[in-house]
Structure 1
């Protein structure tokens, strides 16, 4: 950290444990690269699925600036949540709890990248896309991280909207106008998010207990969480399969949606049927499998939308 004005001694005097000087990897980790991957991919699909072609260089710039905006959100999230990240097993290895990066650094990086990404996306594409990126960053950092996450068990339901905006931003970058189709992609991510995170919370509940985060598993218990997962999965199946018959769907997407939603529903049903007395004995294997399937689930749906869009110029995608 000394190369940007902070030393280990200063960090220790500020009450932060220090294990090592910050590396490039520490600063990159602030941007939540795994989350950024989903942001970039869904934004790219939104751009590709748009009916207006975008110049490859402008498209590359748009994706780069959307990625920077997603990274900015991650850095600001880590800055605000440093206290609970230090408590949770899943997050205590992040750069700020480890003491490799100071909170002030994360705040500075997050604010700088936020301003840069919004300004550059607006200049590279259009200001509607830039404004939507700005709103997404605000929603994730202020509405979700600072407010909802610590106050309501519906945190991940409402807050999930932040992760669902990228395909809308990608569509806007290409077209400069609103349409129904990107909001269908928004809903795919929005409704997918709660069962995805609730499955994680079921086998990581002690983390949220220790950190005092009112996740549904903490406030309403595992039984209620399992019911919620099943309900949202049913809604997800209706939406996902129904999307196949819209302008962004087609036979390839329909095949993917039917297969994956059948598997997803089966997994949610197994979770719903779970005997709570056996939960510890089998180490939450059912929830872990469902969580891993949920990772494939969303990527596969968006990949199918992308394939349909790429095949349309050749008369192969969509419903002809």
Structure 2
């Protein structure tokens, strides 16, 4: 499982060295923290939040605890692997961006070769865990998400198109499928709807962050939409995707024949999100200044929206 997302590095050691080797001044604790940082733990947390609730939904109740634990472990290893691969490939631009320059590779606490080996080991372990302890379909979906994130998003789309996050975000939708197949062993329309919710959620979430760091992306020639388009255009696109996201979230009600709890929560959360998206769009039409636009408000709101929506996905079958 993987996710096209953004978080601060967990490792910020105070020493550096040249590209040729790991620093001899960093402590063991610094190096361990650096490897943990390569996995982008905050991204893993959000991924698992879209995996476990779907398992409850698929089980129409509480799934087997051991199955949840193995799925979480395999998913975390896969997401960590994809993030580490991403850190290796993007180390050149990470060195130049304020948001990422304190990650392990730009600070040379870990060598690119060591990080590459680390990412590969995590990928192998993830596949073995999911294949042997969950099922083959979940393992293949996880491996496919990892490959999509690394080869399609990171290597092909990110530096070439303003639609990088739209299509690259597909990788972050796979946890909904993996959580479902872990329980049922097969795909169905219910997880596909949730897959699409995450797909339409990703652009508003990421473009809000990219607005905040648009100068960083511009300096390294990454054509995120906020870099190449006026803020008002970005705001309009965010509103469009937000409306489609909310409509898609409500589609789960008839498709899955949910109880009353999920559609009520989805409606309330969607209304709040749409109000915030429209407010930000209004601010972008009045000003191009980041202080006035306050894009991080929508970014944090998007995290809360997705978290609470999937909590509702887990709770709904328990109330029935």
**Cα distance between partner residues in 2 of 1:18 and 1:183:** 49
Three-state SS of the structure 1 residue aligned to 2:51 is: helix
Question: Which of residues 78, 88, 104 in structure 1 aligns to 2:97?
Answer: 88
Tell me if 1:233 matches 2:242. Answer: yes
1:293 corresponds in structure 2 to 301
Question: Which of residues 23, 35, 41 in structure 1 aligns to 2:49?
Answer: 41
Please tell me the root mean square deviation across aligned C-alpha atoms, in Å: 2.1
2:3 corresponds in structure 1 to none
Q: CA deviation at 1:294?
A: 0.6
What TM-score do the two structures reach when normalised by structure 1? 0.88
- Indicate if the aligned counterparts of 1:164 and 1:187 stay in contact, CA closer than 8 A: yes
**Cα distance between partner residues in 2 of 1:277 and 1:308:** 41
Question: Which of residues 194, 204, 209 in structure 1 aligns to 2:218?
Answer: 209
How do residues 108-119 of structure 1 correspond to structure 2 at under 5 angstroms?
108-119=117-128
Question: Which of residues 124, 129, 154 in structure 1 aligns to 2:133?
Answer: 124
Q: CA deviation at 1:153?
A: 0.5
Q: CA deviation at 1:232?
A: 0.4
**Cα distance between partner residues in 2 of 1:264 and 1:149:** 27
1:200 corresponds in structure 2 to 209
Moved segments of 4+, more than 4 Å: 15-19
Q: CA deviation at 1:93?
A: 1.2
Q: Could you give the per-residue CA deviations for residues 183-207 of structure 1, whole angstroms, max 9, x where no partner exists? A: 1111111110000111111121101
- Indicate if the aligned counterparts of 2:283 and 2:292 stay in contact, CA closer than 8 A: no
Q: CA deviation at 1:175?
A: 1.2
| Change beyond 3 A, Cα 1:297–1:112 | same
Question: Number of residues paired by the alignment?
Answer: 303
Q: Could you give the per-residue CA deviations for residues 189-235 of structure 1, whole angstroms, max 9, x where no partner exists? A: 11100001111111211011012111011122322211111110111
Q: Could you give the per-residue CA deviations for residues 13-63 of structure 1, whole angstroms, max 9, x where no partner exists? A: 628888734432111111110000011121112222114775322321121
- Indicate if the aligned counterparts of 1:118 and 1:130 stay in contact, CA closer than 8 A: yes
**Cα distance between partner residues in 1 of 2:118 and 2:235:** 38
2:173 corresponds in structure 1 to 164
How do residues 122-161 of structure 1 correspond to structure 2 at under 5 angstroms?
122-161=131-170
- Indicate if the aligned counterparts of 1:167 and 1:186 stay in contact, CA closer than 8 A: yes
What TM-score do the two structures reach when normalised by structure 2? 0.88
Question: Which of residues 70, 79, 90 in structure 1 aligns to 2:79?
Answer: 70
2:58 corresponds in structure 1 to 50
| Change beyond 3 A, Cα 1:16–1:205 | farther
Q: CA deviation at 1:161?
A: 0.8
Can you give the 5+ residue segments of structure 1 that lack an aligned partner in the other structure? 1-7
| Change beyond 3 A, Cα 1:40–1:215 | same
Q: CA deviation at 1:281?
A: 7.1
Question: Which of residues 250, 270, 290 in structure 1 aligns to 2:279?
Answer: 270
Tell me if 1:20 matches 2:26. Answer: yes
**Cα distance between partner residues in 2 of 1:105 and 1:270:** 45
Q: Could you give the per-residue CA deviations for residues 124-181 of structure 1, whole angstroms, max 9, x where no partner exists? A: 1211111111100000111111111111100000011111101211111111111111
| Change beyond 3 A, Cα 1:19–1:303 | farther
- Indicate if the aligned counterparts of 1:86 and 1:97 stay in contact, CA closer than 8 A: yes
Greater mean deviation of Cα atoms: 69-78 or 97-106: 97-106
Question: Which of residues 165, 174, 178 in structure 1 aligns to 2:187?
Answer: 178
